[in-house]
Structure 1
Amino acid sequence: MGESTVGGGTPLVTDPFDAVPGLAPLRAAAWDGDWAATRAFFEGIPVADAEGVSFAAALLAGVDRTEWYLEKAAKAEPADPLPRTLLAERYIHLGWRARGRGLGKDVSRDQVELFHDWLRKAELLLIEVCAERPAYVPAWTARLATARGLVLGQSEARRRYDRLAEHYPHHVLAQSRLLQQLCPKWGGSWEAAHGFAQECASAAPEGSHAGVLVAEAHVEHCAELDGAQAREYLRDVSVRDELRRAARASVLHPDHRRDWQWTDSHSTFALAFSLGGHLGDAARHFAALGDTVSESFWRNVPDWKTRFTEYRSAASATL
């Protein structure tokens, strides 16, 4: 699971549970439907690391059939925010899976109805949690995903993010979710999206993951363009320089420490630099990744696993 061999070479490791050994106990607990082991995993995350809880919750949400034991846990422990938040993240995952990854015009009415049904179930749980525990950051993080999917608008999404940021101002996963909302396809603008990414990257401690938001914004912008515009966008020297500054201040900074999100950040920078033809810049990110890759943005590239290995080979030749 989580590996794919491309061109007869070494398999690519695409599953974050395989890429980060420390996450293995969570997957084992999910496969076994073991709530006690799941709770123990989350209790092992430092109290101050709300982003770690949110990141692990989003990963758990992608494990099949976990809703069954999470529903039981939520009923058994109605005063605890954790099982309800984990269950809501699972419902959110099921909703987005039902919708599919197509453009809005390509999503059927039945898909939209099922999508919204799952998100409304999640939102009901999260409203309760946030009312009871206004400082419970993982629930506000999940509500950024429901706000976007239920088309609640820019102001409501920003309100939710601001409530979260009162308690945890440099939550990169939450910032990434709001960044999606700020893109034009969800009612925002490129000015708002790039401005927010730069704002977050500038305010974050050096060595954090926040710089990847700059890369995410540029990859999203490129994806909205056609033909020659798309080919030239990431080649622009000003875009390249923004990416370089963001990478130097985040995953390439001496203070950066590898954690659960490391594959996501290096993978996104590697993609942005590769699509722009800046292979020398991409090389350091490919070197950090080795045979590991996060598919979060790469999967939007046709035949992405082959392209990943091709770009990686071309980048390594520049070293």
Structure 2
Amino acid sequence: MSALPPPGRPVFEPADRIPSLAALRTAAGSKDWDAITSAFAGLRDEDDRALACRTVAETFGTELFLRETVNRLPRDPLARTLLADRLIQTGWQIRSSHRAEHVSQQQFSDFHAHLRRAELLLIDVCAEHPEYALAWYLRVITSRGLQLGVGETRRRYDRLAEHHPHHFSGQSQLLQQICPKWGGSWEAVHGFAQECTRNAPAGSPTGALTAMAQMEHYLEVAEKGGTRVAETYLREPDNHARLLDAAARSVLHPAFRADAHHAVNAHSAFAAAHSAAGRPAEAAPHFRALGDHASVFPWCYLGTGDHETEFVRHRKTALAKG
């Protein structure tokens, strides 16, 4: 029996590993609105639509084209939402990913200006199309960025959940908001992750929220007490048990869609949590599912902070032991 080929260099950019997103990125770059609308029309999963929205928004040079499209089609919800996300992405790039104390007042001013412009577009879309998941999802992000508070962000998420109760992308964004670094608490973070996992259909990616919550908590513990203390936190029997249960309900369940756009983010969260806890054999099934695909989060939380270095190092160990 021939040995499996060694794993290759991981691919982190979704549009580099998902052909439909690559085609969408090309359409956005070439300002082909008909191709963009056709691509979105073919997506039935709202989490797939959220990632497609982000693909367009992160394509360099699209803002002018999207603004012209909104001027031409002022009532089109997709055009307004894509322009709003482009403004959001530009704003977050200005702010950077640093903690607030390391962001200048000018950065905050420009960041908030972009988010307010996005909000004006999204408010109208939500008023005209209350069930429009993409707009409510983005308003969860703008609420956090504009520091409107946990209550307002939760209100927006609840509006999204009225029509789309298991919106994994929206749940992931709310999870960020209720972390202590954004004004929440660890009790709220872990409670929300467990509630969503318990209520989700079998095979839903939602179980990965448990792994995401633990990795967020791990990062704070590591920053305050060091990596060894953080590893001890992850190894606590209750945390380990919750992680195994969440994986069994979600990414390791037979009903899980391995070809879904969000599968990589979900498996990455579990692989990282087990790896950080020193459980390479339990990380191995997730690495095997990932192959050469990966997400930046939460590998950027480990060790060197270089997501590619950490992914490759932990994958090598896991596949050798599991």
Query: Corresponding residue for 1:268?
Result: 269
Q: Is 2:151 the partner of 1:152?
A: no
Query: Corresponding residue for 1:230?
Result: 230
User: In structure 2, the residue corresponding to 1:317 is in which secondary structure?
Assistant: helix
User: CA 1:111/1:284 → structure 2, altered by over 3 Å: closer, same or farther?
Assistant: same
Q: 1:138 aligns with which of 134, 141, 144?
A: 134
Q: Is 2:31 the partner of 1:33?
A: yes
8 Å CA contact 1:193–1:217 kept in 2: the answer is yes
Distance 2:18 2:251 in 1: 16
Q: Deviations over 1:110-166 (max 9, x none)?
A: 111111011001001001111111121110000000000000011111111111111
| Shift in Å, 1:21 | 2.1
Distance 2:268 2:7 in 1: 19
Which runs of structure 2 are paired with 1:168-183 in the superposition (5 Å)?
Answer: 168-183=164-179
Query: Corresponding residue for 1:21?
Result: 19
Distance 2:197 2:55 in 1: 24
Letter paired with 2:320: A
Which runs of structure 2 are paired with 1:288-303 in the superposition (5 Å)?
Answer: 288-301=289-302, 302-303=305-306
8 Å CA contact 1:17–1:23 kept in 2: the answer is yes
Distance 1:52 1:11 in 2: 24
Q: Is 2:261 the partner of 1:256?
A: no
TM-score, normalising length: structure 2: 0.93
| Shift in Å, 1:290 | 1.3
8 Å CA contact 1:197–1:213 kept in 2: the answer is yes
Aligned length: 310
TM-score, normalising length: structure 1: 0.94
8 Å CA contact 2:7–2:292 kept in 1: the answer is no
Which runs of structure 2 are paired with 1:1-319 in the superposition (5 Å)?
Answer: 10-46=8-44, 49-225=45-221, 226=224, 227=226, 228-258=228-258, 259-301=260-302, 302-319=305-322
| Shift in Å, 1:52 | 2.5
User: In structure 2, the residue corresponding to 1:210 is in which secondary structure?
Assistant: helix
Distance 1:9 1:266 in 2: 16
| Shift in Å, 1:51 | 2.9
| Shift in Å, 1:9 | 7.7
8 Å CA contact 2:168–2:205 kept in 1: the answer is yes
Distance 1:218 1:284 in 2: 19
Aligned-residue identity in percent: 48
For structure 1, the residue ranges without an aligned partner over 5 or more in a row are: 1-7
Distance 2:300 2:57 in 1: 19
8 Å CA contact 2:149–2:183 kept in 1: the answer is yes
Greater alpha carbon shift after TM alignment, 23-32 vs 203-212: 23-32
Greater alpha carbon shift after TM alignment, 248-257 vs 306-315: 306-315
8 Å CA contact 1:34–1:69 kept in 2: the answer is no
For structure 2, the residue ranges without an aligned partner over 5 or more in a row are: 1-5
Letter paired with 2:137: T
Q: What's the C-alpha RMSD, in Å, of the aligned pairs?
A: 1.5
| Shift in Å, 1:13 | 1.1
Q: Deviations over 1:162-206 (max 9, x none)?
A: 111111111010011111111011110000111011111111101
8 Å CA contact 1:30–1:60 kept in 2: the answer is yes
8 Å CA contact 2:47–2:261 kept in 1: the answer is no
Distance 1:168 1:44 in 2: 18
